[in-house]
């Protein structure tokens, strides 16, 4: 397989953070270098952040399509993943690699360079969803590196959800998954609630019969995964509980969690504090 790198200057081109983080799988790069039209293999994207510059292996994807634009710019696209989290590249071997790549000027093949093996191992070892502790540490680091970039700071805070909820609602699958997909907008309970805030959605361990769950999956239109593959016993995201009409609790703005987290607090049938 051939391997290539492309450099992304965060200061000039923005911070590459999806919402939820590391969720992008359709990836690509742009280059004016004509040899890109014959490229075939895997592309690594290296991002430079802060001053003095710090370098991170950000994403990897397999080339599936190369499109030439009328402006002379080639668009290279394919399926891959953003590392969860991106990994900092440093040390003597990296410095030698960067020098061999002319400080990352332009789209470049690196198949025969020794450091390519390290890049490939890092990419494979940090496929999403990743470790929640490592991800939290990464975002704290990013905040210090882009501290003078208000737009990047706002993006980080938005993705992290600086107003993280304090309470979680236990919901059985597949109802919890339907909420995350925006299909289920009302949670039916035995009575009203005064709570009006963003809450964690905890996919409980409780189960219905296999037949009932299959019927629910069909009703919700969830046909891209099996019910047995739905996460259970973890926090799967957040949603805003904004109103209720007796036992009809109205939900909006679901955000799927970048990392599934097991609660530290003991789950309860309705409300509990997970962390």
The rounded distance, in Å, linking the Cα atoms of 6 and 24 is: 17
> What is the predicted pLDDT for the residue at 71?
84
In order of 41, 55, 234, 240, the CA distances from 248 in angstroms are 52, 50, 24, 14
pLDDT at 163: 58
Question: Which CATH class name applies to 168-272?
Answer: mainly beta
Specify the pLDDT at position 155. Answer: 78
Whole-number pLDDT of residue 237: 94
Handedness of CA 266, 272, 273, 275 (dihedral sign): positive
Given its phi and psi angles, is residue 104 left (phi above 0), alpha (psi -120 to 50 degrees) or beta? left
Q: What's the pLDDT at 189? A: 95
Q: pTM of the entire structure? A: 0.60
Domain ranges of the chain: 2-156, 168-272
Q: What is the pLDDT of residue 162?
A: 53
CA-nearest of 40, 34, 29 to 6 is 29
Could you tell me how far CA 184 lies from the centroid of its own chain? 23
Residues of the chain with pLDDT under 50: none
The per-residue pLDDT for 143 is: 86
């Amino acid at each position: 397989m051939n391997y290539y790198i492309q450099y992304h200057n965060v200061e000039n081109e923005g911070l590459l953070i999806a919402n939820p983080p590391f969720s992008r799988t359709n990836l690509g790069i742009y280059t004016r270098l004509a040899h890109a039209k014959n490229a075939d293999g895997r592309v690594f994207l290296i991002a430079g952040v802060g001053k003095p510059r710090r370098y991170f292996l950000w994403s990897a994807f397999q080339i599936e399509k190369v499109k030439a634009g009328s402006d002379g710019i080639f668009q290279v696209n394919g399926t891959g993943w953003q590392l969860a989290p991106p990994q900092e590249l440093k040390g003597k071997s990296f410095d030698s690699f960067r020098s061999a790549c002319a400080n990352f000027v332009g789209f470049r093949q690196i198949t025969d360079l020794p450091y390519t093996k390290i890049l490939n191992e890092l990419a494979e070892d940090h496929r999403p969803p990743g470790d929640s502790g490592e991800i939290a540490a990464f975002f704290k680091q990013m905040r210090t590196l882009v501290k003078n970039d208000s737009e990047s700071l706002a993006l980080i805070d938005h993705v992290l959800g600086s107003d993280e909820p304090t309470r979680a609602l236990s919901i059985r699958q597949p109802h919890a998954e339907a909420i995350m997909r925006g299909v289920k907008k009302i949670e039916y309970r035995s009575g009203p609630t005064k709570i009006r805030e963003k809450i964690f959605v905890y996919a409980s361990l409780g189960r219905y019969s296999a037949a009932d769950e299959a019927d629910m999956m069909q009703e919700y239109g969830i046909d891209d995964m099996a019910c047995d593959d739905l996460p259970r016993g973890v926090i799967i995201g957040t949603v805003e509980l904004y109103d209720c009409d007796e036992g009809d609790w109205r939900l909006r703005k679901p955000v799927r969690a970048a990392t599934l987290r097991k609660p530290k607090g003991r789950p309860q049938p309705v409300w509990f504090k997970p962390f």
